[in-house]
Amino acid sequence: MEAIKAADFNPKFRDEVAELLKGYDFSNCLACGMCTAGCPYSDIHENQDPRKFLRKVLLGMKDEVYADPYIWYCTMCERCTIECPMNVNIAALVRSLRGTWDKDKIPGYLQTIANEHIESGNQMNVGQVDYEETLEWIEEELQEELGDPNYKIPLNKKGAKYFYGFNARDIKYYPNELQTTLKLFYVAGIDYTISTKRWDATNIALFTGQTDDFLAISMPLWQEVADLECEELIVTECGHAFRSMRWGYRTYWKGKQYPIRHILELLNELVKEGKIKLDPDAITEVVTYHDPCNTARKEGVYEAPRELMRSFLKNFVDMNPHGKMNYCCGAGGGGMAMPEYNDIRKAKGKRKVDQVLATGAEIVIVPCHNCMDQFNDLNKWYPEKAKSPNVHMCSLMERALIMPEKE
- Considering Cα of 286, then 370, then 77, then 341, what sign does the dihedral take? positive
Q: Are 105 and 365 in contact (CB under 8 A)?
A: no
Q: Are 267 and 184 in contact (CB under 8 A)?
A: yes
- Measure the CA–CA gap between 227 and 222, rounded to whole angstroms: 9
Q: Supply the CATH classification number for the domain 277-400.
A: 3.40.50
- Residue 2 above 90 pLDDT? no
DSSP assignment string, 238-307: -HHHHHHHHHHHHHH--SS---EEEHHHHHHHHHHTTSS-B-TTS--SEEEE---TTTTTTT---HHHHH
Q: What mean pLDDT comes out for the span 195-211? A: 98
Q: Are 60 and 14 in contact (CB under 8 A)?
A: yes
- Residue 94 above 70 pLDDT? yes
pLDDT at position 407 is 60
- In this structure, what DSSP letter does residue 312 have? T
- Measure the CA–CA gap between 30 and 365, rounded to whole angstroms: 38
Within 8 A by CB and 6+ apart from 185, the residues are 164, 192
- Measure the CA–CA gap between 55 and 338, rounded to whole angstroms: 26
Q: Are 98 and 333 in contact (CB under 8 A)?
A: no
Confidence label for 26 from pLDDT (cuts 50, 70 and 90): confident
What is the maximum alpha-carbon separation in the chain? Answer: 82
**Residue 164 pairs with which residues in a beta bridge?**
234
Report the alpha-carbon angle 317-319-320, nearest 5: 130
Residue 296, classified by CB atoms within 10 Å of its CB into exposed (0-12), middle (13-18) or buried (19+), is: buried
DSSP assignment string, 57-68: HHTT-HHHHHH-
Residue 7, classified by CB atoms within 10 Å of its CB into exposed (0-12), middle (13-18) or buried (19+), is: exposed
Confidence label for 7 from pLDDT (cuts 50, 70 and 90): low
Q: Supply the CATH classification number for the domain 127-269.
A: 3.40.50
Report, in angstroms and rounded to the nearest whole number, the Rg of the chain calculated over CA atoms: 22
Task: Tell me, yes or no, if the two domains 6-100 and 127-269 fold the same way.
Answer: no
Q: What is the pLDDT of residues 218-268, one digit of tens each?
A: 999 999 999 999 999 999 999 999 999 999 999 999 999 999 999 999 999
Q: Domain map of the chain by residue range?
A: 6-100, 127-269, 277-400
Buried b (16+ CB within 10 A) or exposed e, 41-64: bbebeeebbbbbbbebbbbbbbee
Helix, strand, coil % over all residues of the chain, rounded to 5: 50, 5, 40
- Residue 165 above 60 pLDDT? yes
Strand 390-391 relative to strand 363-365: parallel, antiparallel, unpaired? parallel
pLDDT at position 25 is 83
Please report, rounded to a whole number, the percentage of residues in the chain having pLDDT higher than 90.
94
Q: What is the pLDDT of residues 330-376, one digit of tens each?
A: 999 999 999 999 999 999 999 999 999 999 999 999 999 999 999 99
Regarding the domain delimited by 6-100, which CATH topology (the fold level of the hierarchy) does it fall under?
Fumarate Reductase Iron-sulfur Protein; Chain B, domain 2 (1.10.1060)
What is the three-class DSSP state of 111?
helix
Q: What mean pLDDT comes out for the span 304-308? A: 98
Confidence label for 11 from pLDDT (cuts 50, 70 and 90): confident
What is the three-class DSSP state of 402?
coil
- Measure the CA–CA gap between 19 and 93, rounded to whole angstroms: 11
- Measure the CA–CA gap between 310 and 205, rounded to whole angstroms: 35
